[in-house]
Structure 1
């Protein structure tokens, strides 16, 4: 059985593959042209077309304390219908980004991805006889990324069973088989993900079967300190109205900035609610102020913020 640190390390490897962040990007919204999953969201990038994104959002919205639940609930019927036009709904994308600032969404994602992906992968690994942390991480990655069963069967057909080869040789054969499949895949977006298997091949070559820390995956360090850090891109403050928001150096960041951007987005302004008030945000704010007959200062003071996000 894996230790809690080994489990978190395995999950962090896949987080890096999915969002480029050790702890995962809880507000990550992605639409890749040609991807059959369509709109994807969250720490481990669950998809619209699978129905799993609906499941995640329903769990969040049914929590009475969900800060953005009332705003998100009206979108759920379109998720249930697998409405692919959601790929292009900027207002929705910004709302999803904002939910990362809600601890309830982060906890919901942790529980959801653990149940839907990690526990499934752990059962698969155990049933197959895989006991190492690295081997379990490989299964977990394929559970998240897709096509585990097809690649398992291909590996067995080409190289033999795990019982015949032993765990380490079989995992190495599986990773090589999956890498070849990804490298030659007809979809260009999947060909670009062969790096996932290359990263596992390096860990295998270096003998990190216990996922001993620290590790470096795709240039990012996984260590006890990075595993215990605050997830990047999640803002617990400042609360809106406690300061004026304007273009400054360093750039203003935080919950209040995100909520102002979200408020502008809901008014039809084509802004990205990333919680960072840069030049683009300032320019779009000025344009909105001009359009609504307000002084075009590019500054959001407490009175204006209260009006926008009421």
Structure 2
């Protein structure tokens, strides 16, 4: 865990996005908690519906630099309705994964229902919001 915190701190401190540079204090605080013995955490653990395991933290993984530099947008039902290209991508991908839905490029009631169905089927928090956890779920994790 200490190694992971040091790696994250370095990444935050040296990132080209200067807003991230200002968040290194979080990693410093975690390191201090661990150093003083006030930290007891064992794997596996769950955080915001994401399972953290030893193999996940030590494995090579398949993360790409583009994942960090250009995250996919958060999509949800709102007024006016969202009509960005990512909505159409989401709709196509949901259909490809067996969810019944029409492709219209609009995040409306039908798309929200389809997203909730996807989230329920995949053990995610069912809120109709396509954020990082939903985008990262198997089947939606690869851009079309």
TM-score, normalised relative to structure 2: 0.45
TM-score with structure 1 setting the length: 0.22
Name the structure where helix makes up a greater proportion of residues: 1
